[in-house]
Amino acid sequence: MLTNSELKDRALEKLREKWNPAVLAAVVYVLPVGVLSVLMQLKDLAFISGISSLIYILLVPVLSAGMVQTYLALFREEEGSTSGLINLLSKPFSDYGRYLGTMLLVALYTFLWSMLLLVPGIIKSLSYSLTAYILKDHPEMKYNKAIELSMNMMKGNKMKLFLLQLSFIGWMLLALIPMGLGLFWLVPYMQTTMSAFYEDVKEEYLTKI
């Protein structure tokens, strides 16, 4: 398998000529999620907070899967145009039930494990981390089957992913300095690197079965 440094280098190589559409896709994802997150905190306006929470639950899990798959398509060079990448963000909505049900199960399982202790919650979130990618590559798969495949693929790879995520902490701090605007560049970098990780893990997994 590639080292984490090599995965990040591959991501930057894929992004070199595609930063503009990649950043725009991040803007389209981050802005509605950010707005909903703020509205959910308006405790003095319970109705607005409640409606925003409901919209968040029904929208963000599917939109997040769309974001994951957008950068996977960019990494695979399946789509590099601005309009094409933006369209990919909404593609999971055409199979709404499968995506929403599966991603909500991921969130539920992660929450339940986190209720026990923080560490089991982190471990399980790493185990489930490939679920959205699997939903794209296996349109016949949903719910627990997709989650179980993610868990199988992540066996022996959870620490590698944990360290990969930790390597972005410095970039996260820098991205927050200019009023958080750096996130629009950091999201593509992190997500494209995650796509490289998925492709590497998938290749290794397929050689074992």
Can you give the pLDDT at residue 82?
A: 63
Residue-level pLDDT at 57: 93
**Spatial separation of the C-alpha atoms in residues 10 and 137, rounded to whole Å:** 21
Strand, helix or coil for residue 171: helix
- Give the confidence band of 180 by pLDDT, cuts at 50, 70, 90: confident
How would residue 182 be classed by pLDDT, with cut points 50, 70 and 90? Answer: confident
- Tell me which residue has tokens 């798969």: 141
User: Higher pLDDT residue, 65 or 175?
Assistant: 65
Q: What amino acid is encoded at 110 in this protein?
A: T
Taking only Cα atoms into account, the Rg of the chain, rounded to an integer number of angstroms, comes to 17
Give the mean pLDDT of 18-25: 90
Per-residue pLDDT averaged across 186-199, rounded? Answer: 96
**Residue 149: predicted pLDDT:** 97
DSSP E strands in 14-139: the ranges are none
Average pLDDT over residues 152-177: 92
pLDDT at 83: 67
**Phi, psi values for residue 156, rounded to 5°:** 85, 0
Q: Where are the domains of the chain?
A: 4-208
Apex 36 CA angle, 30 and 133, nearest 5: 50
Asked whether 25 and 188 are in contact (CB, 8 A), the reply is yes
**Joined tokens for residue 160:** 């590698």
